[in-house]
Amino acid sequence: MRLELVDLAVGYKDHVVLRDLDLEVPVGSICALLGPNGSGKTTLLRNVNAILKPLGGKVLLEKREVQSMSRKEIALSMAFVPQSTNLPFNYTGLDMVVMGKAPHMSVWSSPGPRARDEAWEVMASLGIDQLADQYYMQMSAGERQLVLLARAVMQDARMLLLDEPTSHLDLRNQVVIMDMVRKIAHGKKATAIITLHDPNLALRYCDYAALLCNGVMLDHGPVDEMLSGENLSKVYGMEVKCELTEGGTRVVVPTADVRLRPDPVHDNTDRNGKTDDEMNA
């Protein structure tokens, strides 16, 4: 699905976190949102799927303003994968995936055996059917993220929004999660927007990148062009270089001890000295 941000401003009440955002995410691609803590990545995702209302501008999905769509229409179009989720009951992995069918059902109906069979097939296709009978709250952080991704596949939306799906995961599970995201997005021709902290993951798995810094979008475009040492140094307020390994893979490498340098570039505090994270708390 085609997503466009047009002169978008996002934030909370009278506090603008990001402004003047213009972005078009190509259909079938994975776009990384990169920026320092508090730069507004999660806030932007919440505006894209209309959990929050923009302070200005528009979010367009297939030329239609998202704010004008019903929650069911949004759920049929977009699948949101949070960093974590709170549950009133300890559901099994299969139960969690079945929940992805909810937007396709009427208010008073409930999923039957066919939906459970479909959910199991989704989990099997992603190689996680061994989690079907395990309880969600007893799973590891990586296993929970895999189940949430399977639920998004079950939702059968053509837009995926993923909020830091690799946070708190070890190296192996980061690779497992990102491999699955790429498999889902490219295999289903879905458009994915993913917030990340590690630019190396973006270089390896994403097609496009949007860089957020100082309340604006510094730049956006193909990931190989965006993730230069110059751009990343501006975004993170430290000296960064992009180097080639012996195998020809580009990697991002910090080249200075940030503790010994001032931060002349990034300052996400407001006039009262509070960061965006503190304002959003």
pLDDT in tens, the chain (281 residues): 789 999 999 999 889 999 999 999 988 899 999 999 989 999 999 999 999 999 999 999 999 999 999 999 999 999 999 887 777 788 999 999 999 998 887 766 777 889 999 999 999 988 899 999 999 999 998 899 899 999 999 998 889 999 999 888 889 888 988 998 998 888 888 899 999 999 999 999 999 999 999 999 999 999 999 999 999 999 998 898 988 888 888 899 888 665 544 444 444 444 344 444 444 44
- In whole angstroms, what is the distance from residue 126 CA to residue 146 CA? 9
The answer to whether the CB of 189 falls within 8 A of the CB of 27 is yes
pLDDT (0 to 100) of residue 259 = 53
Pairing of strands 15-25, 30-34: unpaired
249 CB-contact burial (10 Å; exposed 0-12 / middle 13-18 / buried 19+): exposed
Residues contacting residue 100 through CB under 8 Å, at least 6 positions apart: 79, 119, 150, 151, 152, 153, 154, 155, 156
pLDDT (0 to 100) of residue 94 = 96
Q: Which helix (H) or strand (E) holds 147?
A: helix 141-155
Strand partners, 194: 32, 162
pTM: 0.84
13 CB-contact burial (10 Å; exposed 0-12 / middle 13-18 / buried 19+): exposed
pLDDT (0 to 100) of residue 221 = 95
pLDDT (0 to 100) of residue 248 = 81
Q: Look up the CATH number of domain 3-228.
A: 3.40.50.300
| Vertex 42: Cα angle to 24 and 70 (nearest 5) | 70
- In whole angstroms, what is the distance from residue 50 CA to residue 162 CA? 15
Domain range summary for the chain, segments of one domain joined by +: 3-228
